Every structure is written in C-alpha cells, then in structure tokens.
Structure 1
Amino acid sequence: MHIDWDIDNTVEAPCPACADTAPKPIRLQVRSAIPPCPELPLVLCNHCGTSFFPTLKEPEYETAHATKEALAFYLEQGAGIDVMAEPLAAIDSSKVQRYLEIGCGFGFSLDFARSVFGWSVQGIDPGFAANFGREMLDLPIASTYLRTPADAGPEPFDLVLCSEVVEHVFEPLGFLEILRGVLAPGGTLLLTTPNAGAIAPDTPAGILVPLLSPGYHVTLYSRAGFEALLRRAGFTAVQVTEHGPTLRAAVSMTEGTADLSRRLDRDRYIDYLRERARTIAPDTPLGLGLRYRRLKELTHAGRFAEAEEAARQVVEACRARFGFDLDKPDELLAWTDWPADLAAFHARGPFSLCGILYCLGMLAWLHHGNRDLARTCFQAAAMAGEHARAVLQKIGADDGETDDLAWRARGYAAQILAWTNPAAAADAVERFETEPSLVLKERIPLGILADVRQETFTTLLNLGHYAVADRLALGVEQDLPTRTLGQTASVTFGLGILCLNHRKAAKMASTWFAKAHEASRRLLAAAPEQAMALLWPALYHQALALVQAKDKNGAAEAVSVLLDPSASPAVPPDIVEQAKALARTHRLAARGV
C-alpha cells in the first residue's frame, strides 16, 4: 500500500471530535481499498489531534470482506479475542447482568462474557461475520444497525461494549448519544478505537495499514479528541487511555464504575479457549484458530508441557486439513510456489501459519533444546508470515501480529547462530540494519531491531564470544534510550562485562556496572524478582572493576554497601562472601570486613 506523506494542501471540514472548523492540513493521502479505489486525503485537526477522511463515502458494511477466505483469516488469525475481551476486565463482573455489544463481529467477546462471567448477552451487527457467529457460537446477534435506543430492545444494559466501531461512524456524536440511551442507571460504556497518535511514516505496516483501513475508517481519534467527543455526547465520567495503536475508554454518568488499569485474567482466557475448542472440529478455521490461540498463550506463558499438548492438536489439524507436516518445517521452507492471493493461501495453509511455526520454534528451542529445529521453524515462520501479509495487502488489509512475529522469528534465527557460528550471527544482525525483507521489501521495525541486537549481543557475551559481541556493542549502546529498565540493566551489565574482560577498560566497566545497579534499583518496586537478578551482582562487579582500575577507595565504598547488614533488599550470602574475599585480597578499607 503506497502512502503519500508529502501533500501540501488544506481542506475545509469540521472536526468530528471537537467540532473545530479551522482549515485542516492534509496529513497523508492513500488509495481506498474499495473499488474504484479513489485517492483519500487524511486531514489533521490541529486543535485536538484527531485525523479523518473528509471525502470518504460510507461503505456497505453488510458486504465488506464478505468471502469465506476473509472469514477464515479472521477466525484463524485476525481476531484478537484477548484484545476484544480485555476491556471487560475494567468492570466488576458481579455488577453486570445484561451485556450489549455493538459491532460484535463474529461474537467472540459475547461468547467469552457468557461463558466466563455468566452474563446475559446481546449483540448487534449487520455484517457478514456476525451471521456465521450467530450460528456457530449459538449467540443472540441481531443483524441490524443501532439507529435508536429501541433497536437494542426494551430493557437497558448494565454494560455496553463498542470495540473498533466508532471509527467507522460518520455521525459519531449522535451515535454516542444513542449508546448513552441504552445504559441502565450506573451503567458503563466501554469503547476501543484506533489511536491517531500512532500514524507516522515509521509505524510498521502491519500496524499502520489496519489502523488507517482506507475506505472503511472515517475518523481516527486522538486521546484528547476522543475525550472531547465523549463529553460532548453528555457523559460526565470519562476515562481515555492509550495502549500503543489503540485508545480505550470507559464512560458513564456515574464516577468509579470502571478501572481501565485492570488486565485480562490470562488463565481464565486460556481455560475459555480450551473449553470452547472442545466443541469445534479441529480441522475447521474456527477450531484451528482457537487451538492456535491456546498454543500461543501457553507458549508465551512458559507453560511448555501444556503447550506441547496444544501443539500436537494444531499439528494434527494442519496435517488433516492441508496435508503438510509441521514436524518437518524444512519442507515448508523449501516451498517455492507460495500462494499469490487470499483464496489460494486459504486452500494451501492456515493464515496463522507464521504464528504456529513461531510457537513450534520456541518449544523446540526452550523446551527441547533443539536449536537446529528451532532455527528452521523460525525461518519458515518468517517466510510464511511475509507471504500471508502479501496476500492480505492485496485486499487493503494487513496483520500486526504476523508482522511482529515474522520479524522476531528472523531475529531468533540469527541469534541461534551464536552457538555454532558466532560471526554469522553478528553478520545476520548487521544485515537487518541495511537489507529489506525478501518479499515485501520492508525494513525491520526499530524496536524489534533493538531487541534482536540486544538478545544476540547478550547471548554472544554469555558464550564468551567477546570479540564478535563487540561488533554489536555500539548499536546496543545507541539503543539504550529506547530500552525498558530491565533491558537497560541487562545491557549495561553486558557492556560492563565486555569492557572488563575484553577491552580491558576497567574504569569504563565500573561506570557501566554502576548504571546496571542503578537501573536495577529503580526497577525494584515494579518487578522485584527481575531487579534482584542484577542488583547486587552489578555492584560487586563495579567493585571488582574499580580494584582493577586502581581506585581502592571507590571499591571499598561499593564493598561496604554489599557488607551492610541493613542493606535492603538483603544481599545474597554468596555475594557477601565474594565481597569479603575481594576486600581481604586487595586490602580494601571496607566497613564490615
């Protein structure tokens, strides 16, 4: 999808969010995904930061993506069931009896709410997927639009969810006023919508294309703009938070009905996937999609024994439906005739093939210790992901998770080389900086590049390949401003080890170890277990480096902290003994020796 970011023009149009009437600069221009595919300017409201397509004509949502292949993509991969269900965690489930979802699609969050919370549920959606969800999940979904409160039925609802809908609505103020009218006293409306703050040239295509959805999305709200619109609609209690490319909102006429900081209970979600999958044949798009999502959750949670059992189900389903063997990923890697369109891909393999192979790679590596098999799985995952995205882009769509996993799979394939060919591992990481992907000719997202570089650097250090690790050190150091506290602690400790053991730069090593200690100290409140991994080792290594730099006073001060019985958190006994030995060997004037 080509996006023109260099349009020097303005458009006269009122902002749908804040109603500002000043001329709007054109932020970008892109072709609609709907034939005849006109060019669509996206304008920016300088008052609230919202962007919108002022020339877009309202599409027919009843027939949008109305093909079995598009539905299969949604069921196998595209539907983020956990993302849909997560807003529900903001509510005390015991306070809800009646739940309404507008634009419910296939109905996954309705099914989750009914199964997990026991709520009485109702969906409204005139779309193609909703017709299938009503039958396959036995859900009460009305195939209509919500034009008045009466369209939702005679009884009000304790909770209404409107997820990824308001960006499609051409008259959002009136729509939100209708939603306010279906709420029971003290009821809550939850909303999610794309975040205009994520629109940028360097946003990965897997995120940017679905966010823009040219031809389907009319308004992309900023946080300030969305809050302004919700207050204009008459809501008095308004919360809006940013979650990467998504805005989440909880609104009511009563304060304190929702807490958007609450997160989905992943164990309950995994249980839901298991129980729902038992009712659906595994070799169908829905059955395979449910089983893949459970495999993904268990793999990411490190529950590898359970993930192994889930993987068997997925492997057998793919063998039965498509005839290929995921236990032999080298055969997939050898494919030269990858499908060129959505229908052909649907006939050849699941749209979740990238994610499945990624999880199988993780199991091979971290559970079975089979790095060769893991690397082949990751290489096949990267190839499958890019080809899946290529056919999605032909219909004006994309998938952010597949984009992310395909790049991370490439990164792990490079990192694994550190055990057998360390120079080749560094070569592969350096090529990421300059070479685009093979199929889509895209550059690796900078955040993923930083992760790959850090993880490969750390692996090379741990294996003792200091000279090769040094090739990546400058990039790792330059990435530091973008790293989390945990990553900063790990990277600065690694740079300290490199300076101490390879560069023989003890004074610089002590500086890096001090940074690692400080980052770990700052991490204590949020993640104490992670912080403790390097908190005291970093200070001990700082003392060691200071001894080698002939700064005995500085070394003595560091050792004194390690030997302080009132230190909090307590210093592990083995580090205390090492600190005492260091002080005795080098005659440091440390307290507590």
Structure 2
Amino acid sequence: MVELKWYDGSKTEIKSCLACGKAGEMTLTVSTGHVVQNRGDVLFYKCPTCSSINAEGQFADFLTSDEGFIGSDSSKYVWDHYLEIGAGIDFMVRPIERAGIVDKGSLLDVGCGYGFPLDYWKFIARGEAVGLEPSEYGDRGSKELNVRIIPEYLSDQTELVGQKFDRIISSEVIEHVPDPKAFLEGIRAYLDEKGVVILTTPNAGFISPGGPLSTMIAALSPGLHQILFSKSALEDLLQQVGFPYYAVEVREERLIAYAANQPISFKNDDAKIRANYLQYLRSKVSETNPTDALGAGVRYRLFKELVNEGRFDEALPLGNEIASSIITKYGFDPLSPPETLRAIQYCDTLPAYAAAAPFFLPCFVFYAAMLTRHGRTMGTYNAADLFSCAADLCAHAQRHNVIFSQEAGTLYWVSVYEEGFARLVDGEKERAFQLMERIRKGSAPEEEYLETCSRPQALILRATLQSGIAKLQAGEPEWAMSILRKLMAGTQTEESQVIFNEAKSAWRTAAAQSRDMLPQSIISSLETSSSGKPAKKGFLASLLGS
C-alpha cells in the first residue's frame, strides 16, 4: 500500500531551493517511499519564499535500466504500459496546438521519451521534428514511430548547434534536472525569434492532504522528481532566463508554461484541436498491428474518445477489434467477466500483468460496458455485469500497481455507479440501492487501497439521488423521502442545482406514492380537523414532510 505521511510543520531544514535559488529554513511537508524498493523514504520540503516543493532522497532515472527502478529484464513492461495506456498523448499535443501549429515548421522536443509529439508534428504540421532522449526509450520510439531522436542530453549534443526551431517542447522534464535555470537557458538558445517554448511540469500547489492519492503520488514521483514548481516560481524563472512574454496555466496537478520573445497568440479552437487528435489516432490505427503495444494503445485511446463523444456506431467495430486481439494474444475474452477476472486474479506484479493482459484492460471493459449500455452490444453479457467486472479490475489494479493505474483509479467509483444505474434499469432495485449507498459511504476500512481512487462529491450526490429513486421504485416511499430530504438540504448551491431539482421532483413523486398507499379512511381522518371541519389545504403534505 503506497502512503503519504503528512507533517505538522514543526520539522525544518536549511536548504537551497532549486526553483528560486533562495537558501533558508524549509518545512518538511510530506514523505513517501521511493519508487525503487529498498531506497528508503523521500522527503519533500516546501520553500517559504516561492512555495515550490523540493525533494530529498536518492534519485533514479525512470527510464534507465541500470538505475534499478525497472531492471533490464522488465523494462519492456514499463514501456509497454506507457504505450498501451500510460502516455497522455492528448495532453502532450494539446499545448502544441494551443501555441499554434506552424505549417511545415520545425519542432524540437527536449526529453522526448518515445516521441509522440514528434510524430504528431510530422503528421499535422508536415514539418521537421527532432527529439533529444538519451534513454533506450528514445531508441525504441525512433524505430517504431520512424522519427528522428538524438540519444543525448541537451547539454551534451552537438548535431543541432546553431539551429533554430519554431516550437520547442519539454514535457515533464524540468522537474528532473538539478539546475532548472541552466536547462531553460539551454533551451532558449535554440528558439527562433518568432518561436514559442512549451513546458509542462507537476504543480506544487496540487499537493495537499485530502487530495487524490494516486495523482499526488504520480506528481511527486518519489525518487524521480527533484523539484515541484509553484506557478509563481515558474513565472519568475522564465523571467530570469530572459523571456519577455510568458504565461503559466494551472491544470490541476500540472503546470503548462508558454514562453516567447514576441507576444503569444493562443489558439483556442477546441473542436479543431480534438479533430486533429482523432485524425492522428486514426492514422496510427491504420499503420499498426493491433496486437503490438503501440497498435493496441492507439486503438484503445481512439475507442475511449469515440465512446466519450457518443459516437457509438464508430466505436463498436474498433471495440470488437480490440477484444478480438486480446483473445488472440492472451487467450481470454475480455467481454466475459468470469474469464477476465480469472486471467488477472494472480497478477500481483507488473511483469505478471503484462504477460496476462493489456494494461488498459480495466478501462477497456468500462468503455465496452458504456457502449453496451447505449445499445451497441459487445459480447453476451449485459452492461451491469460488465460494469461490475470493470470495478473489480480497477480495484485489483489499485491493490497491486497503483503508480501504473491512475486512469483505472479514476474509473473505479464511476464503474460502481454505472453498475448501480444499470441494475436499477434492469429492475434490480435492492442491488442498485446497495451499490449507490456504497458510493455514498465510501470504502470499508479493509479496503485502504481504494483510497487512491477518485470519489468526487458530484458523484456522491448523484449516487444519493439514485439511492432515493431505488427505494421509490421498490415501493418504499417514506425511506425514499428521508434520503431525498437530506439530499436537498445539502445541495442548495448553484453548482448542485440540477441535483436539487431532480431530488425535489423525485421527492414529490414519493410523497404522492406514500399518500396513495394510505387507506382512504386514514386519508379522510387526516384531512378532517378535530372539530369535524376540513383541515387546511396542505395539511397532509406537511405531515408527510414537505
């Protein structure tokens, strides 16, 4: 079980901040175990000057096998995970689109990893794209994506000296380097006068008690990240390096920075950006084998996006192709919950999971269930059973590989909700009620591993509403009214107005149903005062709790 240990602010150390360069007394904020076993805890100190978070511990390179994090015998599994689900390709390319695609322009990606932004630029901009990546990861990407990747660090390479680029991106790199200022100065030397630098890095402001555990652990990456910038610290650093124009955007756990020598004109056509991304995924589907990690990963991403957009008829054949490729490669039907759960039940390590199933399996089953719920049946099982399977798969992933299961962590409670909703539609009222109440109450003490799963307040409110509706449909209106009354009392805000209105409508139905269940003689006596005269209008409704 991966845990974060929070401190009360009483422990301090004299340190120099990598972000702002100021030396002083820093407060120990949080600690957690190193990503490499037997390397102890990593401590995180908050700078009082700029609010960035500095790490203290032994540092390893995520992608270098001789660092001991993955080991040469299992590095392939980490890379396959990245290709199948770990790489946020949409997140990588969206900032490039926001800064503006330069038709037939040039892109430099510093610390490009596998090279997805390079491949995307070649496809969309039809221009030159080159990356710098010293690890074996870059070597694999250059071959499988057919992109140019120089296997060197920025400070060591000589091939690009004197060249200028229209766009330079460095995604999730600056938090690893021991001298961020020198790193940015090196990048600026390659920027065209009209060009834009794009940086992404974890957000120090996201790290706080009560936040989503799996996301915070990924942001901290104990033993990998040396510094988490605050927004203000990154802005100050860009100014120090000499960029006259810059902007830093906060996107929950990440910061996205843009810097240039001239004013930046942002492109905000989300429909166009999304269309380009889907077009790119389709191109990769046509070029790749569905049983390879790259081919499987781009198919899963496109399938997910099509389901999320409600383009179910387009998603169905792609989902069937993914299911068929899993049967071919791994020997089980992912649309059969019994087969699927048997296939992964003993997979408690990354290599064991990689040998048994694709890493996107929990999420694929969830989206297959969504497709089934909307009338495009995949396999022979109903939506409720597929959602139940997805929840079990997501829970298993959190139990054994939380660092590699962030997306599954976001879908666990959603899977429980969707199963409950599907059970309600199918007439299984009591089972639906139990599932919705589970969401409302949260995980049991013996389910600590589920603390890494996101359970947003909006989902809790909606589950509570469905609990009341389940009891209403089960013919227990008084119980339903009790649930709905409490829900309405706690949702009188602008953000929850829709939930409030739906609860109010359901409560009125429950009140009417409760009234109809009373014998006529009791109704008559309730509507007559002690003096024998008719009671005031609304007396019965007020008695029922309106």
Q: Give the TM-score taking structure 2 as reference length.
A: 0.84
Structure 1 residues 280 and 164: alpha-carbon distance in aligned structure 2, compared to 1, 3 A threshold: same
1:377 and 2:378 matched:
no
Q: Which of the numbers 24, 33, 49 marks the counterpart of 2:26?
A: 24
What is the root-mean-square deviation in Å for CA atoms of aligned residues? 2.9
Cα distance between partner residues in 2 of 1:492 and 1:325: 42
Corresponding residue for residue 346 of structure 2: 338
Q: Which residue number in structure 2 is paired with residue 541 of structure 1? A: none
Counterpart check, 1:425 vs 2:432: yes
Question: What's 1:416 paired with?
Answer: 422
Residues 366 and 386, structure 2, Cα contact 8 Å, conserved in 1: yes
Partner in structure 1 of residue 526 of structure 2 = none
Q: Give CA deviations for 1:103-160 in whole Å, capped at 9, x if unaligned.
A: 1111111111111221210011112321111001111001110016856443110100
Does the 8 Å contact 1:412/1:452 carry over to 2?
no
Measure how far apart 1:336 and its partner are. Answer: 7.5
1:318 aligns with 2:319: no
How far off is 1:263 after superposition? Answer: 7.3
Task: Tell me how far apart the structure 1 counterparts of residues 387 and 4 of structure 2 sit (CA, whole Å).
Answer: 30
Q: Name the CA distance, whole Å, in 1 between partners of 2:157 and 2:189.
A: 6
Aligned residues: 502
Deviation, structure 1 residue 435: 2.9
Q: How many angstroms apart in 1 are the aligned matches of 2:422 and 2:452? A: 18
Equivalent residue number for residue 282 of structure 1: 290
CA distance in 1 between counterparts of 2:20 and 2:203 reads 16
CA distance in 2 between partners of 1:95 and 1:461 (Å) = 54
| Shift, 1:236, TM fit | 1.4
Q: Which residue pairs with 1:515 in the alignment?
A: none
Task: Give ranges in structure 2 of 5+ residues lacking alignment.
Answer: 513-536, 540-546
- 1:336 to 1:316, Cα distance in 2 relative to 1, 3 A: closer
Q: Of 399, 407, 411, which residue of structure 1 is paired with 2:405?
A: 399
Given residue 136 of structure 2, which amino acid in structure 1 is its aligned partner? Answer: F
What does the per-residue CA deviation read over 1:170-211, in whole Å, with 9 as the maximum and x for residues that have no partner? 100110011111101121001111111111232223211211
Structure 2 partner of 1:124: 132
Residue identity (%): 24
Letter in 1 for 2:387: F
SS state at 1:48 partner: coil
Corresponding residue SS for 1:216: coil
Residues 268-289 of structure 1 deviation map (CA, whole Å, 9 limit, x = unaligned):
2122112112211111111111
Contact 2:285 2:299 in 1 (8 A): yes
Structure 2 distance, partners of 1:129, 1:385, is 27
- 2:198 is paired with a residue whose SS is strand
Please tell me whether the aligned partners of residues 244 and 260 of structure 2 are also in contact (alpha carbons under 8 angstroms): yes
Alignment partner, residue 51 of structure 1: 53
**Equivalent residue for 1:298?**
306
The verdict on how the C-alpha distance between 1:376 and 1:471 changes in structure 2, with shifts beyond 3 A counting, is farther
Distance 1:151 1:210, change over 3 A: farther
Name the structure 1 match of 2:544: none
2:517 paired residue number: none
> For 2:454 and 2:481, how far apart are their aligned partners in 1?
20
Q: Which residue of 2 aligns with 1:240?
A: 248
The answer as to whether partners of 1:437 and 1:443 remain within 8 angstroms in 2 is no
CA contact (8 A) 1:148 1:178 kept: no
Q: In the aligned structure 2, how far is the partner of 1:222 from the partner of 1:129?
A: 29
Displacement, 1:291?
0.7
CA spacing shift, 1:338–1:36, aligned 2, 3 Å: closer
Given candidates 11, 14, 21, the residue that maps to 1:12 is 14
- The answer for the alignment partner of 2:459 in structure 1 is 451
Residues 257 and 151 (structure 1), Cα distance of their counterparts in 2 relative to 1, 3 Å cut: farther
SS of the counterpart of 1:22?
strand
Q: Deviations over 1:305-329 (max 9, x none)?
A: 0110110110111011001112322
Deviations 1:510-549 (A, max 9, x none): xxxxxxxxxxxxxxxxxxxxxxxxxxxxxxxxxxxxxx87
Pairs within 5 Å for 1:116-515: 116-147=124-155, 150=158, 152-259=160-267, 265-333=273-341, 337-368=345-376, 373-393=382-402, 397-419=403-425, 420-432=427-439, 433-436=441-444, 441-443=449-451, 447-448=455-456, 450-454=458-462, 457=465, 461=469, 465=473, 467=478, 469-470=480-481, 472-473=483-484, 476-477=487-488, 480=491, 485=495, 488-503=496-511
Alignment partners' CA distance in 2, 1:364 and 1:438: 32
Letter in 2 for 1:377: L
Amino acid paired to 2:392: M
* Equivalent pair of 1:188/1:258 in contact (CA under 8 Å): no
For residues 519-558 of structure 1, what are the structure 2 equivalents within 5 Å? none
Residues 113-122 or 372-381, more deviating: 372-381
- For 2:110, the equivalent position in structure 1 comes to 102
Aligned-partner Cα distance in 2 for 1:281–1:238: 41
Q: Structure 1 CA distance, aligned partners of 2:462 and 2:500? A: 11
SS in 2 for 1:112: helix
Alpha-carbon separation, structure 2, partners of 1:444 and 1:437: 13
CA distance in 1, matches of 2:365, 2:91: 22
Q: Name the CA shift for 1:437/1:119 in 2 (closer, same or farther; >3 Å).
A: farther
Mapped partners of 1:484, 1:353: distance in 2: 38
The AA in structure 2 aligned to 1:89 is E
